[in-house]
Chain A
Amino acid sequence: DTGVSQDPRHKITKRGQNVTFRCDPISEHNRLYWYRQTLGQGPEFLTYFQNEAQLEKSRLLSDRFSAERPKGSFSTLEIQRTEQGDSAMYLCASSFSRNTEAFFGQGTRLTVV
Chain B
Amino acid sequence: AQTVTQSQPEMSVQEAETVTLSCTYDTSENNYYLFWYKQPPSRQMILVIRQEAYKQQNATENRFSVNFQKAAKSFSLKISDSQLGDTAMYFCAYLNPNFGNEKLTFGTGTRLTIIP
Taking a contact as CB atoms under 8 Å apart, the answer to whether A56 and B47 are in contact is no
Q: Which of A11-19, A76-84, A98-106 contacts B (4 or more CB under 8 A)?
A: A98-106
- Chain B residue numbers with a CB within 8 Å of A45 are 103-105
Check B30 for interface membership: any CB of A closer than 8 A. Answer: no
Distance (Å) between the CB of B27 and the closest chain A CB?
15
- Chain B residue numbers with a CB within 8 Å of A107 are 44
Q: Known interface pairs A42-B106, A43-B91, A104-B44. Does A99 touch B100 (Cβ–Cβ under 8 Å)?
A: no
Q: Known interface pairs A42-B108, A101-B50. Does A106 touch B43 (Cβ–Cβ under 8 Å)?
A: yes
- Chain B residue numbers with a CB within 8 Å of A56 are 100-103
Bound Cα distance A77, B104 (Å): 19
Across the interface, B97 reaches (CB within 8 A) one of A4, A44, A55, A99, namely A99
Distance (Å) between the CB of A61 and the closest chain B CB?
12
- Chain A residue numbers with a CB within 8 Å of B105 are 45
Taking a contact as CB atoms under 8 Å apart, the answer to whether B108 and A31 are in contact is no
Taking a contact as CB atoms under 8 Å apart, the answer to whether A40 and B104 are in contact is no
Bound Cα distance A2, B93 (Å): 24
Check B45 for interface membership: any CB of A closer than 8 A. Answer: yes
- Chain A residue numbers with a CB within 8 Å of B97 are 98-99
Residue in chain B with minimal CB distance to A6: B44
- Chain A residue numbers with a CB within 8 Å of B37 are 104
- Chain A residue numbers with a CB within 8 Å of B109 are 40-42
Within 8 A of A (CB), among B41-74: 43-47, 50
Residue in chain B with minimal CB distance to A91: B45
Interface residues of B (CB under 8 A from A): 4, 6, 33, 37, 43-47, 50, 91, 93, 97, 99-109
Going nearest first, the 4 A-B pairs with the smallest beta carbon separation are: A42-B106, A45-B103, A104-B45, A106-B44
